[in-house]
Amino acid sequence: MKFSKLGLSIGLALGVSMAAQAADVEVLHYWTSGGEAKSVAELKTMMEAKGHTWKDFAVAGGGGESAMTVLKSRVVSGNPPAAAQIKGPSIQEWGDEGVLADLNPVATAEEWDKLLPTVVSDVMKYDGKYVAVPVNVHRVNWMWANPEVFEKAGATVPKTWDEFFVAADKIKAAGMTAVAHGGQPWQDATTFESVVLGVAGADFYRDAFVKLNPEALNSKTMVDALNTFRKIKSYTDEGAPGRDWNLATAMVIKGEAGMQFMGDWAKGEFTAAGKVPGKDYICAAAPGTADDFTFNIDSFVMFDLDNKDLQKGQNDLASTVLSPEFQEIFNLNKGSIPARLNLPMDKFDDCAKLSSADFVRTADSNTLVPSMAHGMSTFSAQQGAIYDTVTEFYNNDDVTAEAAAEKMAKAVAAATE
């Protein structure tokens, strides 16, 4: 039996999903933190208003690794959900499996090509046809800071990595945790890609994480970035290993830590806690990355199901997700910005307004790059190879940056064969 890129061996056609009840629209996602749950609840409400039953298929685990494992086993057993949160190049991998529904009829009727920037619509298509609908655009290269902690320590919010270490030293010397981190591979990778971007710039980032150029992966520049990244560890607390990202955000919210490097889903946590940007917390580009933008676009794919009621539910779901009403209310809660073009931003906070302006600005200056850590720049196997080397390096001080860079280049090459 032949295994595909996703490692699936689908022996059976999906056929009729016997387990699904007629109008139950089952949606797999991994939005389980406070801010995320509020966001997804809006989609449920809108689907129910259209007469559908929302069957929640939430699999906890930031970054979605666990959700993907569960999803694969459901699809292999011939019982996929109606929709699943799948994004980036992985959409192509699922397209290759031949299990996705064609959303082109809805997309054509609603003229999605005109509603979406091409950087978004390109990701949503397989073989020229829409198979996914975008929910939002997240910016990953953010730093979330607690101004009270900075004030107490006499530190200023850093704009470069050199300034970061000065500020972190002051916060540490004042007896506080400088960086709230969750030691999980995807969170390590999230911080690491911001370091690479801040230390080496968008062109290098693209060479390494999009083109997967072995000379960039195994370079002096990568070695410098790795060393800078590992230095951050001494500013984290003992509880960091394994900590969930939203608990790290909570440390910044409560003033237990000075900053967190995380995409703007972290803002969803601040919002859910009733915090106001510019007053209770600061959103700033990760050091050295103010003129760059790492994007992460959440989207839903629909599975090809032989059931008219479910197909109607899927079409309604696709249409709802791209509606101006949903794009606004969801993203207000989620911390991201709408994927749909030309929506008013007046209800959004200053961080979202900055993100929206920078999305356009960085597209023009060619410093808009796909997030490696969030599956936007590579297939899952290459991303896994980078994750493994980065996390091993971060956790094991015996591994030199030179050895890690070499290993990264080799592991990525092996995953590409």
Q: In this structure, is the dihedral angle defined by the CA atoms of residues 319, 324, 326 and 332, taken in order, positive or negative?
A: positive
Q: Is 36 in the site for ligand GAL (CB under 6 A)?
A: yes
At closest approach, how far in Å is the CB of 334 from ligand GAL? 7
Q: Is 296 in the site for ligand GAL (CB under 6 A)?
A: yes
At closest approach, how far in Å is the CB of 38 from ligand GAL? 13
What is the C-alpha separation between 361 and 298, in angstroms, rounded?
Answer: 21
Q: Within 377-416, which residues bind ligand GAL (CB under 6 A)?
A: none
Q: Which stretch binds ligand GAL (CB under 6 A): 30-38, 214-222, 356-364, 386-394?
A: 30-38
Q: In this structure, is the dihedral angle defined by the CA atoms of residues 69, 70, 76 and 81, taken in order, positive or negative?
A: negative
Q: Is 193 in the site for ligand GAL (CB under 6 A)?
A: no
**Which amino acid type is present at position 248?**
A
Cβ burial 84-95 (10 Å sphere, 16+ → b, else e): bbbbbbbbebbb
Take residue 346 and report the two structure tokens written for it.
Answer: 């007046």
User: Binder to ligand GAL among 94, 374, 404, 415 (CB under 6 A)?
Assistant: 374
User: Binder to ligand GAL among 74, 138, 139, 267 (CB under 6 A)?
Assistant: 138
User: Binder to ligand GAL among 17, 27, 31, 317 (CB under 6 A)?
Assistant: 31
Q: Toward ligand GAL, which CB reaches closer, 228 or 320?
A: 320
- Site track for ligand GAL across 310-339, x = CB under 6 A: ------------------------------
> Are 209 and 385 contacting, i.e. CB atoms less than 8 angstroms apart?
no
Q: Is 359 in the site for ligand GAL (CB under 6 A)?
A: no
CA 241 to chain centre: 20
Q: Toward ligand GAL, which CB reaches closer, 138 or 139?
A: 138
What is the C-alpha separation between 355 and 138, in angstroms, rounded?
Answer: 9
> Are 405 and 411 contacting, i.e. CB atoms less than 8 angstroms apart?
no
Q: Residue number with the shortest CB distance to ligand GAL?
A: 62
Q: Toward ligand GAL, which CB reaches closer, 188 or 207?
A: 188
User: Binder to ligand GAL among 35, 42, 62, 301 (CB under 6 A)?
Assistant: 62
Residues in contact with ligand GAL, counted by CB under 6 A, come to a total of 12
> Are 369 and 181 contacting, i.e. CB atoms less than 8 angstroms apart?
no
Q: In this structure, is the dihedral angle defined by the CA atoms of residues 9, 379, 144 and 366, taken in order, positive or negative?
A: negative
At closest approach, how far in Å is the CB of 62 from ligand GAL? 4
Nearest CA to 222 out of 409, 391, 29, 31 is that of 409
Three-class secondary structure of residue 292 per DSSP? coil
Nearest CA to 248 out of 296, 339, 257, 235 is that of 257
- For residue 61, the surrounding DSSP H or E stretch is none
Q: Is 298 in the site for ligand GAL (CB under 6 A)?
A: yes
Take residue 220 and report the two structure tokens written for it.
Answer: 């002096």
Q: Is 64 in the site for ligand GAL (CB under 6 A)?
A: yes
Q: Which stretch binds ligand GAL (CB under 6 A): 57-65, 69-77, 88-96, 113-121?
A: 57-65
Q: Toward ligand GAL, which CB reaches closer, 230 or 374?
A: 374
- Interface residues with ligand GAL (CB under 6 A) are 30-31, 36, 62-64, 138, 245, 265, 296, 298, 374
